[in-house]
Structure 1
Amino acid sequence: MSKIAFITGATSGIGRATALLLAEEGYDLIICGRREDRLKALSDEVAVRTLELSFDVRNRVEVEGAINSIPDAWKSIDVLLNNAGNAHGLSKIQDGNVDDWDAMIDINVKGLLYVTKALVPEMVSKGSGHIVNIGSIAGKEVYPNGNVYCASKHAVDAINNGMRMDLNGTGVKVSQVCPGLVETEFSMVRFKGDTDRSKSVYEGFDALTAYDVADLIRFIVTRPAHVNISDTVIFPAAQAASTLVDKK
């Protein structure tokens, strides 16, 4: 029987790349996101069974409704990838936009918690499963103007560690992947569609691709049952810290 992976934020970037790589490993996929057309396109691209769930992780009622709608044949989930997350804005705390703050906390922190709370009891009940949380180097360091985004990813780091402790002895593994600079739609969202500013983030060096990070996730979830890679940081070779990048 095929294993099942549940992936949030599957419509782009790391989530989409991970779905494609786990499909290559034979995982059936529950793919989640707000853009239904992209979910359909991803389903058409893979050769495994897929279940598409369209909901906003910020909305607890939507999360619970979508997960409660999962057919019995799909309920035994082996891997949960908490990938949905965003950065909104890059400004000093005194100039920050409260709506941006709400969005980052709601998506990056509360959304992760809502999805995990809805799915983890089944994993505990069956005595196996693997939760992979996508953090960030911003959860390990703080950089200028990153204030609330960094805070949200520090929260993910703390939740990941607490989750691993709480689930110790249940058979459920917990891992975190903390990328540095990955060229995805991340900067376009942060800079609210400013293409030139977004592109400038990745100029002068070879940034990570979504597939670089997805390949690490694939490695983590395909380790033997007795092995748990609890936390990782992945940088492009040109990056040494959040704000230290060798640009040519």
Structure 2
Amino acid sequence: ARRADRLEALAAETGAIAVPTDITEDDAVERLLGIVADAGGADTLVNIAGGARGADPLAQAKTADWDWMYQANVVGTMKMIRAFLPLLRAQREGGTVLNLTSTAGMVSYEGGAGYNAAKAAQRAMTRALRLEEAEHGVRVIEVLPGMVQTEEFSLNRLGNADAASKVYDGVEKPLTSEDVADIITYAVTVPHHVNLDEIVVRPLAQAAAHKVIRKQ
């Protein structure tokens, strides 16, 4: 992650090694790779960086927002995978790559073109990687969440707290980050010969991308 304060708190709680990293920066990725290699390598890479910016229709699309989304969701994920594949291929029991994408990469919606495009590209990359890496003993998993209520996603996308809160108005029990973390944990810890190619997860209230049950 990018924020040292949160990483330091997590490291104190878990014993993890905290390395603040911007995955869009080549030097930062190489530094992270070196630290991991020196610590003994890795058998699993979980790519959860990304996000959305803006909800403009294409007619008012902001180039800066699209550039940020493509770098954060697609190019950054590519850089991490490219850097860590040699370590993952070297694992005797086999390596794992898990990419957190989104149902936005499956179904487009008005005002979401930039995020739809970025997540669809990340999804396509994930599927290609699975084909390329099976012969190297690296399994590739994709988790595609629907509506997840977190403290930042909608706020970062829409720019103000009122607009962000309205996204979840009336939605009974949207998914939480803990729900998604539990699914990721399960997917990467089942026996290595089990490959959960694609896991689509939505809250019960979101029957489909176009149907969300909202109670008043």
TM-score category, normalised to shorter length: over 0.9
TM-fit CA distance, 1:78: 1.5
Q: Give the match for residue 34 of structure 1.
A: 2
- The answer to whether the Cα contact below 8 Å between 2:21 and 2:32 also exists between their aligned partners in 1 is yes
Q: 2:204 aligns with which of 237, 240, 246?
A: 237
Q: 1:191 aligns with which of 121, 144, 158?
A: 158
| Residue type of the alignment partner of 2:12 | D
Displacement over 3 Å in runs of 4+: none
Mapped partners of 1:99, 1:151: distance in 2:
14
| Aligned alpha-carbon RMSD (Å) | 1.2
TM-score, structure 2 length as denominator? 0.94
Mapped partners of 1:220, 1:66: distance in 2:
24
Residue segments in structure 1 that go unaligned for 5+ positions in a row: 1-32
- What's the % identity of the aligned pairs? 37
Task: Name the SS of the counterpart of 1:182 in structure 2.
Answer: coil
1:126-165 aligned at under 5 Å gives the runs 126-127=91-92, 128-165=94-131
Q: 2:55 aligns with which of 90, 94, 109?
A: 90
Task: Name the SS of the counterpart of 1:177 in structure 2.
Answer: strand
TM-fit CA distance, 1:42: 1.1
TM-fit CA distance, 1:71: 5.0
Say whether residues 1:228 and 2:195 are aligned partners: yes
Task: Name the SS of the counterpart of 1:132 in structure 2.
Answer: strand
Residue segments in structure 2 that go unaligned for 5+ positions in a row: none
Q: Give the match for residue 110 of structure 1.
A: 75
1:195-206 aligned at under 5 Å gives the runs 195-205=161-171, 206=173
TM-fit CA distance, 1:39: 0.5
**Cα deviations by residue, 1:2-28 (Å, 9 ceiling, x for unpaired):** xxxxxxxxxxxxxxxxxxxxxxxxxxx
Task: Name the SS of the counterpart of 1:208 in structure 2.
Answer: coil
Q: Give the match for residue 219 of structure 1.
A: 186
Q: Give the match for residue 24 of structure 1.
A: none
Say whether residues 1:166 and 2:132 are aligned partners: yes
How many matched pairs? 212
